[in-house]
Structure 1
């Protein structure tokens, strides 16, 4: 059995495919995994392959097929600078900013030029001819893969790290997409407050209009049709707004951890898909020993979230407030009082990504060090630019009591399935919903709702205290542990693997 995984190389999309490859070989070691993507993900594919082979006796190493053409983010960065995509998706979600973002979204979801798109399609077609896969699992954002599979009538399905809400919004009864579910990038909570419904309706209508009328997308579609034998362009927005009747879409989400939605029949709710990774002890024994000292807050805002110094100072001040509150509470409750059931002094590890070319630091004499000098000097707080283990391994270390993350799908689900409450600081248009989910599900807080996409100590400090130490903290921990146990009963990666094999005719889900 040969399974081809066709996916963008950006980690947010590729991570669930790395987990899927492992789950397929765990289900059946005879499954051969072929991974078609771009150069940046090659190292991760190799590591995932090695881990899968070690974990599943008899499994063969995965075969990586590097595609021609630019990767998704590379293409997006090369789009005409007049469009300013990067600026649009990080602006505060005011009415006109959201309208600007919605106008640009179709181009962001299809960043390649016509010639680049064709080069990728031709490269993928060669891989298909070489591998002759029994089935192809295609990334929902990998439009060249969707287009090739549809045009050549290949046996395929779509796999996505996105949510049930994303794929089912337009199918909701009574037009729920307009008045109930927050439009992408709106920053509205769920359910949409009455006062926000008019704006939400406008956002949804604008999103639909621009998805149908974007000039750059239409130009790519015309070139693809002309030069690829009459092929119809298939995009992410197409499979959301007009899913083919025979297309099965696997979603790394489940109803219990999403907004309440009616799930269409073409969607398979797999549940959170978590990639198996080596433990912290195996990768970084020193960090493992440090984590074991006591309850830990893990701050990691993703690979692409760059924090300028003024915002880093706000974060540092929020951390200082939390540590002071923890010390005061420990003195009041007794020195041996545990935080989240974990004995020891509260500590923080903060993965801080600075903008390219930044000249400021966090060492002795810096402004950030000035805020947290005592905790940094005592090794109670660590500020690092990289963490060797995977974030999910840190969360599973057993002592993390709060995840502070950016609200990416992987980060949100990593914390949830680890049974850890979270504070979400969404910096981008597609992350706001996860902050709202944390509150709706009762497993965390939205940490920058007043100041998004940035954060301030005045808002964030009390929220960190609430989630880690406040009177609602035990209920949040109990609720997220309940959801984690539910997800563990039928792991999303195993459900997705069974669905892929069922679709290929090799097994039953």
Structure 2
């Protein structure tokens, strides 16, 4: 329906495809419906993605400047990356918090966003749950907002979870052994005490000072649950049954993965023909953040070689990492490597893709299940461990024994077990049905357009 809303709507995205893509898909759906005066504020690197939205009323892009290198995971230096993907989950959690905490590190983007809000006077803001600047801007200009999250809902409501619930980023199951309960308590305690470290105290003081200078309510705005407490709506791209049972407010809507109309892109005819010609394909894609080593790349090639004769392997490997490959004439014939695919969603939707081998990111995990694909997961960092353990407990995936390495025998064992046991596919297809019934992007658009702020 054309003209469903004439009041400005402002999307605000953090750096990184993981949180930006969902917002882009929702903004595109609103434009498709004829919603007028849509804005999308993000780092300059997102400009091309937004400006190519050419459906309906379109979306106007507003630049918040260049990405803050210290904040964006894709631009962290190698030392910070190593700290994030290290064996200690506690230390990885600490690294992420230290590099993403507070408003002070993004002062320039904050003021750009504030000026934009003053100019366009949005009736509603929609922003991701890890955005450090959107909440204080919404407070400053008294703009109601919708919170967007690709993570498990417990990530948002950790302060309200029952006693003994697995702490986020631990990758612990709901039903823990005694040793796991001890580690969970240790992790939670250190996570709380971390904010007493001089580095964190300095960041807290800077954030408090920034909030005070803006004459904003410090107590409310700096509360750990501030974003969820004051949100008008919370959109979470998961479904219950994957997440463990927790109490949640009525304003939380579990809508599953947000998938655009498919095919998403004009397909690569050669790739489409290759998928059509191979009745059983293992798709390997490890997100935009993963930085594989030469040993890991060679081990994954060996995994493909050992699957030859039974399964083909499609591997999306960034061009900047392809120099780590063996010589091209030494690659197994069942392996196809692409530096880029027109649409990962189109690949996952193909009926010949039988298994998704991925890093456990929130989007990858839920998108794979949306298309009924069982998975093998090699968790990359923090929240990936949480998706991985819920995948195991939901019967849709297996996790490699040691994510710090690529053990050829272990990976082959996990892939073979998932492919040979129809229960994994059946459970994945069950959650495909649940996600589609949850509504996805259509539900997100309906909920936003039904906001009292737009009446």
Q: Under a length normalisation based on structure 1, what TM-score does the superposition of the two structures give?
A: 0.80
2:137 maps to 148
- 8 Å Cα contact 2:40/2:59 also seen in 1: yes
2:3 maps to none
- 8 Å Cα contact 2:358/2:375 also seen in 1: yes
Q: Deviations over 1:415-438 (max 9, x none)?
A: 000111111111212211111122
How big is the shift at 1:310?
0.8
How big is the shift at 1:185?
3.3
How big is the shift at 1:397?
2.1
1:36 maps to 41
2:203 maps to 217
Whether 2:148 is the aligned partner of 1:159: answer yes
Cα distance change, pair 234–451 in 1 and its aligned pair in 2 (3 A): farther
- 8 Å Cα contact 1:147/1:232 also seen in 2: no
Q: Secondary structure at 1:244's aligned position in 2? A: helix
Whether 2:87 is the aligned partner of 1:92: answer yes
Q: Which has the larger radius of gyration?
A: 1
2:214 maps to 228
The within-5 A match list for 1:17-32 is 17-26=23-32, 28-32=33-37
- 8 Å Cα contact 1:157/1:249 also seen in 2: yes
Cα distance change, pair 242–62 in 1 and its aligned pair in 2 (3 A): closer
Cα distance change, pair 118–227 in 1 and its aligned pair in 2 (3 A): farther
How big is the shift at 1:70?
3.2
**1:123 is matched with which residue: 89, 112, 115?**
112
| Unaligned 5+ runs, structure 2 | 1-5
Q: Secondary structure at 2:81's aligned position in 1? A: helix
- 8 Å Cα contact 1:438/1:444 also seen in 2: yes
Cα distance change, pair 150–442 in 1 and its aligned pair in 2 (3 A): same
Q: Deviations over 1:122-150 (max 9, x none)?
A: 10011112222221101111111111112
Could you tell me how far apart the structure 1 residues matched to 2:225 and 2:176 are? 21
Q: Mean alpha-carbon deviation: is it higher for 289-298 or for 486-495?
A: 486-495
1:330 maps to none
Whether 2:234 is the aligned partner of 1:249: answer yes
**2:369 is matched with which residue: 416, 423, 437?**
416
1:451 maps to 402
Q: Mean alpha-carbon deviation: is it higher for 263-272 or for 148-157?
A: 263-272
1:404 maps to 357
1:317 maps to 302
How big is the shift at 1:396?
0.8
1:301 maps to 286
RMSD, aligned α-carbons = 2.8
| Unaligned 5+ runs, structure 1 | 54-58, 327-345
Q: Deviations over 1:333-367 (max 9, x none)?
A: xxxxxxxxxxxxx31111224766x85433346xx
The within-5 A match list for 1:267-282 is 267-276=252-261, 278-279=263-264, 282=266
1:466 maps to 417
Cα distance change, pair 405–429 in 1 and its aligned pair in 2 (3 A): same
**1:427 is matched with which residue: 349, 369, 380?**
380
Q: Deviations over 1:15-47 (max 9, x none)?
A: 110111123234x31333210001111122123
The within-5 A match list for 1:168-179 is 168-173=157-162, 175=163, 179=164
**1:498 is matched with which residue: 442, 446, 451?**
446
